[in-house]
């Protein structure tokens, strides 16, 4: 049981300067450069971290390459790798509250969500892949007599992992768990505004017995550190969660370098579709609100487009507005807070820009639409519902990544499908209906990597997460995640 009474103590704890982890040692930037870490809770400096250079990124990649090539991890018996990862998961759980509070101070997620979605989720993920290590078998091909075909699974090599600021531990573990379990070495580049908790779990990995050089972490700017990792000739696989614009640059970097495999989990503009026959309207209201407004809307699969059948549109929006107006927005370290801080001032201004554009276009700002709690110095925004949105509006087509919900009415099932598929994205979706046949039709017709029925979010590690269209390629979670980090090698033997 976590002692939540320690939250206030941890809120004010000193945070030492953050350093790179390269080849088993925590080191400053090669040129001594540092970046301020500004807390979104109050806009003050939390600490400083190393501003990575190209030389730092190259040193980390070289360390990962040596570690992979000499087999200190890749050639370790699967049961031995498993033991290290299980110990790491246990250490993350033991330090869950400290990790969660540190992360909240760094990126603004409300503590209730942070505990579950960050350290506890990361520990669960690492444990899941650790348990799978000694259960991945090769194959014997059904060949003609006189030949033997064997299919071996081998670790792909050095993995470059670039992760975002909204859920650094959860998404980081989605990359680190299967990559390390497969026997790869990793160079991890956290987001500039959420590096601290990842550095801390990397320290715990060393404590658990992960050999030096197998996991390296370099902080700093994406245009410098991320670009260097992406263009390295010694990185075999690149995995990324973030924006489409950055994803395109990573693909270009792969083409300019060694044609490394690139797997991208990009943005979303996910439709949450409520039919008049939804089995539980109260549940649909509550889950729809949480599906967009928890973590201040900073969730890649957020249900940011609410499509409501016209016959219930006004009543549903009224109930949703009432529920949202009762959500507590504010101090993320208060366990009663329902929605925390926006990650940065830049992100807050982008969110407000979308609202201003919708207002100028004559859309109805049903609730919210403004910055609040400015006196705290933090970056807080009211949960915002915009009605009267046209499917062609920018608010209906582009990812805001903030607490802004676009509401669109529809009349028919076919119209709902057309609106749902009317963006460049295809990450997630939801359908609320009591009609089983309709649910299955919608699952087949909506272009998305995951379609929820009578819920939104909450899927666990047993199923994959990935997008279609411009929401990316490849999958995190489930055993399918191993596909990114394992190469297939055929042995053809004449008997």
Q: Catalytic residue numbers?
A: 265
Main-chain dihedrals φ then ψ at residue 80, nearest 5 degrees? -70, -40
Nearest to 180 by CA among 221, 200, 220, 209: 209
Residues 6+ apart with CB under 8 A from 446: 271, 417, 420, 421, 429, 431
Phi-psi region of 110 (alpha: psi -120 to 50; beta: other; left: phi over 0): beta
| Strand ranges for 396-479 from DSSP E | 404-410, 428-432, 450-453
Distance CA 229, CA 239 (A): 11
| β-strand partners of 476 | 465
User: Alpha carbon of 220 to those of 85, 226, 239, 441: distances in Å?
Assistant: 27, 8, 17, 46
Listing DSSP states for 237-295 in one string gives EEEEES-HHHHHHHHHHHHHTT--EEEEE-----EEEE-TT-S-HHHHHHHHHHHHHGG
Distance CA 253, CA 227 (A): 7
Angle at 242 between CA 240 and CA 247, to 5 degrees: 65
In terms of residues, how long is the chain? 495
Distance CA 54, CA 352 (A): 35
| Strand ranges for 271-393 from DSSP E | 271-274, 305-309, 364-367, 371-372, 380-381, 384-387
Residues 6+ apart with CB under 8 A from 326: none
Beta carbons of 160 and 187 less than 8 angstroms apart? yes
Question: Own/partner pairs for 409-416, CB < 8 Å, 24+ apart?
Answer: 409/307, 409/308, 409/309, 409/310, 409/313, 410/273, 410/307, 410/308, 410/309, 410/310, 411/309, 411/310, 413/275, 413/438, 413/441, 413/442, 416/271, 416/273, 416/275, 416/307, 416/309, 416/442
Beta carbons of 403 and 339 less than 8 angstroms apart? yes
């Amino acid at each position: 049981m976590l002692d939540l009474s320690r939250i206030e103590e941890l809120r004010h704890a000193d945070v030492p300067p953050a350093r790179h982890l390269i080849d088993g040692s925590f080191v400053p930037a090669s040129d001594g450069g540092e970046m301020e870490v500004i807390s979104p809770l109050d806009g003050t400096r939390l600490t400083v971290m190393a501003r990575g250079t190209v030389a730092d990124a190259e040193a980390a990649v070289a360390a990962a390459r040596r570690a992979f090539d000499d087999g200190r991890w890749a050639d370790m018996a699967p049961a031995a790798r498993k033991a290290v990862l299980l110990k790491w998961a246990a250490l993350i759980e033991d330090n869950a509250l400290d990790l969660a509070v540190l992360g909240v101070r760094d990126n603004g997620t409300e503590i209730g969500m942070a505990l579950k979605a960050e350290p506890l989720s990361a520990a669960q993920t690492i444990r899941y892949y650790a348990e799978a290590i000694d259960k991945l078998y090769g194959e014997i091909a059904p060949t003609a007599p006189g030949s033997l075909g064997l299919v071996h699974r081998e670790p792909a090599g050095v993995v470059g992992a670039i992760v975002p600021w909204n859920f650094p531990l959860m998404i980081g573990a989605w990359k680190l768990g299967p990559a390390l379990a497969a026997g790869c070495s990793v160079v991890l580049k956290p987001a500039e505004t959420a590096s601290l908790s990842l550095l801390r779990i990397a320290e715990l990995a060393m404590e658990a017995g992960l050999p030096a050089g197998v996991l390296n972490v370099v902080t700093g700017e994406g245009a410098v550190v991320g670009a260097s990792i992406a263009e390295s000739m010694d990185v075999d696989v690149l995995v990324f969660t973030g924006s489409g614009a950055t994803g395109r640059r990573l693909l270009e970097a792969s083409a300019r370098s060694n044609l490394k495999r690139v797997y991208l989990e990009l943005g979303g503009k996910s439709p949450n579709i409520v039919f008049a026959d939804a089995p539980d309207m109260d549940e649909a209201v509550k889950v729809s609100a949480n599906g967009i407004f928890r973590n201040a809307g900073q969730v890649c699969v957020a249900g940011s487009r609410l499509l409501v059948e016209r016959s219930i549109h006004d009543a549903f929006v009224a109930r949703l507005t009432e529920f949202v107006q009762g959500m507590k927005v504010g101090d993320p370290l208060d366990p009663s807070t329902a929605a925390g801080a926006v990650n940065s001032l830049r992100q807050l201004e982008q969110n407000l820009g979308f609202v201003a554009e919708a207002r100028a276009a004559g859309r109805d700002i049903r609730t919210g639409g403004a910055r609040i709690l400015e006196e705290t110095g933090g970056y807080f925004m009211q949960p915002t519902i915009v009605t009267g949105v046209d499917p062609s509006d920018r608010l209906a087509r582009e990812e805001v990544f903030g607490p802004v919900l676009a509401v669109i009415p529809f009349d028919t099932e076919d119209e709902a499908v057309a609106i749902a598929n009317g963006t460049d994205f295809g990450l997630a979706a939801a359908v609320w209906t009591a009609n089983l046949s309709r649910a299955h039709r919608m699952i087949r017709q909506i272009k998305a990597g995951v379609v929820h029925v009578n819920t939104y979010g909450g899927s666990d590690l047993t199923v994959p997460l990935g997008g279609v269209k411009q929401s990316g390629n490849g999958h995190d979670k489930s055993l399918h995640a191993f596909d990114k980090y394992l190469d297939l090698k055929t042995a053809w033997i004449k008997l």
